[in-house]
Amino acid sequence: MEGHRTAVVDWSGWVGTDRHHHVRTASDVETFLRFVGSMTARGEGYTEVSRGTDPHPMLALSVASGRAVIHLFRSPEESAVLQGDGCVPPREVAELPIVEGSSAFTGDVIVTLERAVDVLTAFARGAAPETLGAWDEL
């Protein structure tokens, strides 16, 4: 269809513990969402996504043991974390992967995989980060 443009996202990530395939890729949204689906089905991994050629805003998704944490990078200097959805008690701690290694997160910022996929899907399809939930500035 003339004039129709497919939305493009720029992303990288890995599934499981295989961090060797963390290579930036430009693709259509559906290809990225298939990757997210394989990562969440495996129950462990990490991905970062931005829209088009703009590096920001960018979302980063950490997944382990059926739990997820989403970071928002508005710019290289500004970051936030999505507030948890109550799936884990606020004081409980879980170790999740980050771009270099892993980090401990408390339940007040952990969400279900379903919530994480919903947030990444909406963002990849053009939703503004502010409409995706409450963010705590870091």
Residue-range domain boundaries for the chain: 8-137
Say which residue the tokens 């507030």 belong to.
Answer: 83
Above 80 in pLDDT, residue 4? no
- Sequence-separated (6 or more) residues with CB below 8 Å from residue 62: 46, 68, 69, 70, 71, 96, 97, 98, 103, 105
Tokens (6 digits) for 87: 């799936």
Per-residue pLDDT at 2: 38
Position 16, amino acid: G
Strands 67-73 vs 79-82: parallel, antiparallel or unpaired: antiparallel
**pLDDT tens-digit map of 74-123:** 999 999 999 999 999 999 999 999 888 889 999 999 999 999 999 999 99
Q: Give residue 66's Cα distance to chain centre.
A: 14
Q: Give residue 117's Cα distance to chain centre.
A: 8
Q: Which of 6-20, 53-67, 115-129 has the highest mean pLDDT?
A: 115-129
Above 70 in pLDDT, residue 34? yes
Above 80 in pLDDT, residue 21? no
Per-residue pLDDT at 26: 87
First-to-last alpha carbon distance for the chain, in angstroms, is: 43
Question: Average of pLDDT values for 26-35?
Answer: 91
